[in-house]
């Protein structure tokens, strides 16, 4: 069974750096065509892709947030970490990690974590 | 970046209705188009990938079509559990830069 779970602080102050961890099981990030991505959703708003990392350590970022984001992985722990600097109240929302499956599934986000709510407030 | 535009942003329907949601891409994306369903307080769920292939376990009343820049998601005979928000997403960009549509809320 494939699962992903996000963890991290529920509350961060403006200007702080957010660090979220995605812990997954049931698949390997070393498998060809598999990557892990991060998506966020402000309350009542659309989904916004943030970043993704593949098994070859290739990192890709949303161009509008590139300067604030870093994604990394620890294959031995089955974890992917997202860091976002200079947090602002507009960054408040639910942050999801998801498996991205290539080839037949054409890079669809096929399995999602439950999401973690992050509030940015002083 | 490829922009995805969904219409309508919301719609009202009844159980048993046929519902169609449209998604347009700002550039051609072949069939690199996915549809997701999201219920309140839950994570999105993949319904359709490759514009028209049903993900395992998704009821056959859901179908997708289109290629290039215009796509549709159709729900035949809407069921009570289908009231949710639906998002399209493109995965055509290279290097990868997935983007989502603004969502369509299907309400009673």
DSSP secondary structure, B50-68, as one string:
TTTEEPTT--TTEEEEEET
Using CB atoms and an 8 Å cut-off, which of residues 59-98 of chain B contact chain A? 87, 89, 91, 95-98
Q: Which residues of B touch A52 (CB under 8 A)?
A: 96, 98
Residue range A39-57, pLDDT digits in tens? 999 998 999 999 999 999 9
Nearest-5° angle of CA A57, CA A98, CA A78?
55
Are B60 and B54 in contact, with CB atoms under 8 Å apart? Answer: yes
Which residues of chain A neighbour B99 with C-beta distances below 8 Å? 49
CA B3 vs. chain centroid, Å, equals: 15
Mean pLDDT of chain B, nearest integer:
97
Buried b (16+ CB within 10 A) or exposed e, B93-105: beebbbbbbbbbb
Per-residue confidence at A66, pLDDT binned at 50, 70, 90? very high
Q: What is the distance in angstroms between the Cα of B34 and the nearest Cα belonging to chain A?
A: 7
Give B33 to chain A, closest Cα distance, Å: 8
How far is the CA of B91 from the CAs of A59, A88, A105, B98, in angstroms?
16, 28, 10, 5
- Could you tell me where the beta strands, DSSP code E, fall in A28-92? 34-41, 47-54, 59-61, 69-74, 79-84
Interchain CB contact of B99 with A (< 8 Å): yes
Mutate to test the interface with A, among B34, B55, B86, B98 (most CBs of A within 10 A): B98
Using 50, 70 and 90 to split pLDDT, how confident is the model at A94?
Answer: very high
Q: Do B43 and A63 touch (CB under 8 A)?
A: no
Q: Would you place residue A104 in the very low, low, confident or very high pLDDT band (cuts 50, 70, 90)? A: confident
pLDDT value at residue B51: 98
| pLDDT cut 70: percent of chain A above it | 100
């Amino acid at each position: 069974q494939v699962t992903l779970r996000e963890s991290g602080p529920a509350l961060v102050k403006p200007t702080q750096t957010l660090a979220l961890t995605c812990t997954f099981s049931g698949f390997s990030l070393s498998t060809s065509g598999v990557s892990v991505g991060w998506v966020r959703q402000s309350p009542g708003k659309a989904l916004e892709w943030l970043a993704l990392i593949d098994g070859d350590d290739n990192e890709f970022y949303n161009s509008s947030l590139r300067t604030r984001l870093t994604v990394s992985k620890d294959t031995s722990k089955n974890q992917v970490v997202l860091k976002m600097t200079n947090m602002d109240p507009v960054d408040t929302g639910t942050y999801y990690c998801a498996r991205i499956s290539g080839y037949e599934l054409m890079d669809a986000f096929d399995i999602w974590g439950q999401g973690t709510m992050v509030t940015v407030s002083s | 970046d490829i922009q995805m535009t969904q219409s309508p942003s919301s719609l009202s329907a009844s159980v048993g209705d046929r519902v169609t949601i449209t998604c347009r891409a700002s550039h051609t994306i072949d069939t690199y188009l996915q549809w997701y369903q999201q219920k309140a307080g839950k994570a999105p769920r993949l319904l359709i990938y490759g514009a028209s292939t049903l993900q395992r376990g998704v009821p056959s009343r859901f179908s997708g079509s289109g290629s290039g820049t215009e796509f549709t998601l159709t729900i035949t005979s809407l069921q009570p559990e289908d009231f949710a928000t639906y998002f399209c997403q493109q995965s055509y960009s290279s290097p990868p830069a997935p983007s989502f549509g603004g969502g369509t809320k299907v309400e009673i």
